[in-house]
A and B are shown apart, each in its own frame.
Chain A
Amino acid sequence: MRKLGCIILFFVWAVLGLFAQEIRTVKYEQMAEIIDQKGDKLTIVNFWATWCIPCIEEIPHFVAVFNQYKAQTNLEMIFVSLDRATHLKEVAEFIKTNKMPGEALLLDDAKRFNEWIPKVHPDWEGNLPATGFYRKGELMEFHANMLTEEELIHIIDKLK
């Protein structure tokens, strides 16, 4: 009986542990470093938020296309939430419910919007959703609008 209790506890711990690992709160520099570390792999970085309706509509496109293409094209996916850090739990919940693959970050750098938004792309006004395509830390393509599955596939095919 005690053994069973231990096993259940272990599972709860493992699931919670995984869950906690699913999202990291970062500043801009840490985010840039994480993107750099993906090296040669084509890395899709999607900026989103739970309050952003078009982002929520767009996320299933990323989930579907990433799951379909990751094996053959050596893809990486990073979801960067711009929700408030105090909403971390809701964001983690959303990621889990929607089975969002890849890495998840919460970019908690609101006071420096005006510093880091132009560093991501000089023409980005901060409107969400927005998506960058990186390789070796270099931004290859940037879209500050919603992307369809077809558009995503087209961009991946072009950059892979």
Chain B
Amino acid sequence: MKNLTLILLLMLVHIGTNAQYDIGSQATDFSLQSVDGKKVSLSDYADAKGYIVIFTCNTCPFAVAYEDRINDLDSKYKGLGFPVIAINPNDPELSPKDNMEAMIQRSADKNFSFPYLLDLGQKIYPQYGARRTPHVFVLHKEEGNNIVRYIGAIDNNHEDANDASERYVENAVDALLKGEAVKTEKTVAIGCDIKVKK
């Protein structure tokens, strides 16, 4: 009986580590190093109404195609209370062009206005359930908790920002700012697999 309890407990732990967020989940905070050398957490932004958390990287062509749009999202929504927080989930040993040095360079070259963090040790992205880059999680502060309100792509045209007919992240944040429900809560898109250390 004792053994069975232990097995059940272990199974629960196992499920726990594989959990991924769905709409309505409470997102965890983190403390990850950014390109300016400082550690960044969600709780650093006391006045934020929410966050646009984007798992992205230097090396994926889809992520690169979205860099300017991620900058635009930050300039548009930071002042409104929804700052962009970018997290690179790739293992820097497996993908050396995704190491901190390369991130610092990329951030400077592209004038990133947002913090660009490295998920060193790859502990955070599995909790969110990010599967590819770029992969967006819009969080909304509700009674002190960060609740997941959108999961998916930035828009529906990675090739040409001007030709996107659905701007999913903007629509989600606009709705939250107006106190309305997000219409499209989940989307999928092609992207690069996250490079995971085995």
A residues lining the B interface (CB < 8 Å) = 49, 51-52, 54, 82, 84, 110-114, 117-118, 124-129, 144-145
Contacts and interface: CB of A to CB of B under 8 A. Distances in A.
Contact of B188 (A124, A129, A145): A124
Nearest to A109: B190
Contacts of A125: 131-132, 135, 188, 191
A26 B194 CA distance: 27
B165 A126 contact: no
B159 A110 contact: yes
Given A82-B190, A111-B165, A117-B190, A126 B132 contact: yes
A114 B159 contact: no
A52 B192 contact: yes
B42 interface: no
Contacts of A144: 131
A126 B191 contact: yes
B153 interface: yes
Contact of A127 (B156, B157, B191): B191
A54 B195 CA distance: 9
Contacts of A51: 60-61, 192
A110 B188 contact: no
